[in-house]
Chains A and B, each alone.
Chain A
Amino acid sequence: MKKCEYQQIDPRALTVSPSSAQNHTEKKVQRPRRKWEVFPGKNRFFCDGRIILARQSGVLPLTLGLIVVTCGLFFAFDCPFLVEHLTVFIPVIGAVLFVFVVFSLLRTSFTDPGILPRATPDEAADIEKQIDTSGSSTYRPPPRTKEILINQQVVKLKYCFTCKMFRPPRTSHCSLCDNCVERFDHHCPWVGNCVGKRNYRFFYSFIISLSFLTSFIFGCVITHITLRSQAGKSLVQAIQESPARYPFVHTLLSCLDSFSFTVVELVICFFSIWSILGLSGFHTYLVASNLTTNEDIKGSWSSKRGAEESGNPYTYNSILTNCCATLCGPMPPSLIDRRGFLPPDEAMSAASASEIELPPFAAKNDAHMEDNCQDLALSCTA
């Protein structure tokens, strides 16, 4: 059946000989690749590039789990009692807050934080040329910096060796995700993603709504405990009064009394409320003064106290404008175009470049070569 002769296509010869390159292009048309498949950073993609996560998202399930479990316990054990004794709005408010918290959390985790795509080879070469000829670099080797004026204030831009470009102001390179992120705030392990320009508002609404939710559940739990004790029943009496059909089960169940779940909720809320309220307060301060966590920790704008020029150049000098600009400003687009298709020549050069630079990829390309050879064989028999 496969009588025609064919040669195994050497991937290194692809860029050299145009005729074999043409054949390869024809075959590549069958399976156009999307840009997320060749993304150089350490991110993971789901749903064909729609969802982006950091490589290590280990604590995100824990965060989700804690929230869901605590709310579940709240709805199961506190709400029936409180609806009976107080008002039916308690589970309604709880449900609204819960939905808001989960949506904000998922939006924060799955949104591109403002990743800057790496410089193309031509761009990188152009920048190198400029560094060699411009006066800002001395005869000393890197670190390379460029000084610019922002609102009449001198700001240093650093050169990123991984992304091969001068980082725009307020951009920082996250080593965990191996990306430069615009308006980099911090990498949050609880959320499993960086927090940057595009998802800061989701992160902020997540922590604010979580503060409300935790405080609300805490308040309800305290109310529940207070009302129960006011009703005159002690814990022991309440256990004794429950029906005892099966003594052993009854003893077991008495330990797992619904009241003990309430105590569990109380403990979780008590410990988390301090950290969450503290974080919310801190980020409210950052939003009001148009700072990022990164800048605040490094003390970028407060190192020279007393000097007039060392203010934050990005602030609008009004708390309301700062808040509106950070939280309600226009939503910037994603710059990495995850779902776009790779043009055929770029796909090829990406494949051959990865072949040359990273030996582990050789196995992947070999499988491709086998497919192509089979296709070629089939086309010969047609």
Chain B
Amino acid sequence: MAETHSLQDLQQPIISSKVFIQRDYSSGTICRFQTKFPSELESRVDKQQFEETIQTLNNLYAEAEKLGGKSYLEGCLACLTAYTIFLCMETHYEKVLKKIAKYVKDQNEKIYAPRGLLITDPIERGLRVIEITIFEDRSIGSAR
């Protein structure tokens, strides 16, 4: 049991600082985040890696909010059933949000946690920011 450690198991991972990636409104009110690489992360993670993460998130949100045949069909069906269908069916957006949560968890485990970073799912911050918590740089091995 004592061999495996995650960031939660460590007594009090000391938060060094937090970086907030703001929304990019250049194409309207759709959910998009700025891909500019923040200077605080320069020493921790590869720029390309970071941009890829943000871009994938942007693509997933674009997929959720896409106006196409499927979303129109869902909307019309909902209207015809006096919107009661939303009480029993999961919307397309919610399905994509689950995908996003899984992706964020995945990225955290594979790339960011080993580097002492933690990405918070934007939905927990009201889709306003991507919050990246930077933990104090101490190697995991020395925690035992």
Contact = CB atoms under 8 A, between A and B. Distances in A.
B91 A331 contact: yes
Given A116-B126, A324-B75, 6 more contacts: A120-B125, A149-B26, A321-B67, A330-B74, A333-B91, A333-B94
B13 to A, nearest CB: 13
Contact of A330 (B64, B123, B124): B64
Interface in A71-126: 99-100, 103-104, 107, 116-117, 119-120, 122-123, 126
A168 B20 contact: no
Given A328-B71, A330-B92, A122 B131 contact: yes
Interface of B: 18, 20, 23, 25-29, 64-67, 71-72, 74-76, 78-79, 82-84, 86, 91-94, 97, 123-129, 131
Number of chain A interface residues as a range: 35 or more
Nearest to B12: A18
Contacts of B75: 201, 324, 327-331
A333 to B, nearest CB: 6
A335 B23 CA distance: 15
A207 interface: no
Residue of A116, A117, A201, A331 contacting most chain B CB atoms (<10 Å): A331
Contacts of B26: 148-151
A358 to B, nearest CB: 23
A119 B18 CA distance: 14
Contacts of B76: 328
A329 B64 CA distance: 10
A330 B71 contact: yes
Contact of B71 (A122, A148, A150, A329): A329
A122 B130 CA distance: 12
A112 to B, nearest CB: 12
3 smallest beta-carbon distances between A and B, as pairs: A328-B75, A103-B82, A335-B126
